[in-house]
Amino acid sequence: MHSASSFKTPPLQINYLGDHALLISIHSSVSEETMAYIRHITAACKTLKNNHPWIKDIIPAYQTVTVVFDITSYYLHQTDEPLFVFKKLLLTQLEALPVINNTINNKIIQVPVCYELDFGIDLAQMAAVKNTTIDEIIQIHSSEIYSVYCLGFMPGFAYMGNVPDKIQMARHPTPRTKVLAGSVGIAGPQTGVYPMDSPGGWQIIGRTPIKIFDPEPSKLALFQTGDRVQFYSIDRKIFDQMQAEES
């Protein structure tokens, strides 16, 4: 790891999300710095979770962290309102943690992708719409290093950014009923990999032969928030070989 200069802590707001969750919102644009601050808040919340059994789950996203709590368990330990108590605990914990820096993980997860047209089923249409070539889309997509901003949608699905403007494409107006596991897609400034067969509306440009999510407890998701990812192109023969090794 190496650290860049620290950045000014953006304001945060904490509100109820229903009757058993709190939403911590960060008033800042989506960026590497904001992602670092989200990780900082998440780490603080996890420490609180270890010390307060009424806190059940921590869910980070692009500009928010959701804290799920057990309301019955809470009132066995506290008398004041959850929002008041949690805000005080969080601010104290944030002060106890090291100063936030825009930390960059030097490790890059390399992900093989076969961009052939039977896998990259939206490549031809994308090239036409963007007035470019399929080869250029592949070259641009595979030359970028992406940051994992958050996980969601389904187990192991990582939202990564930022996709260069030249190959950004909006989601399909009507999602497909089935997108195959390993499919690599683009949606606006985001790219991601479908961990399992599911409906989906992203523009599909290829497929990876490696498992993105494994229900085995010792494995689970390949990506975590804060990871850095780069895709690289493989041909169909290599794809088949790697897929056989994953089975």
Mapping DSSP to helix (H, G, I), strand (E, B) and coil, where does residue 123 land?
Answer: helix
Those residues with Cβ within 8 angstroms of residue 12's Cβ, 6 or more apart along the chain or in another chain:
24, 25, 26, 27, 41
pTM of the predicted model as reported, rounded to 2 decimal places: 0.80
pLDDT, tens only, 26-55: 888 877 788 888 888 998 999 999 999 999
Give yes or no for residue 104 having a pLDDT over 70. Answer: no
Task: Specify the pairing of strand 220-221 against strand 198-200.
Answer: unpaired
Which DSSP helix (H) or strand (E) runs through 241?
A: helix 236-246
Those residues with Cβ within 8 angstroms of residue 25's Cβ, 6 or more apart along the chain or in another chain:
12, 13, 14, 15, 63, 64
pLDDT, tens only, 151-185: 988 999 999 989 999 999 999 999 999 999 999 99
Name the residue among 40, 32, 20 with its Cα closest to residue 95.
40
**Torsion of the alpha carbons at 50, 53, 57 and 62, rounded to the nearest 10:** -60
Q: Quick one: angle between helices 82-96 and 32-51, nearest 10?
A: 110
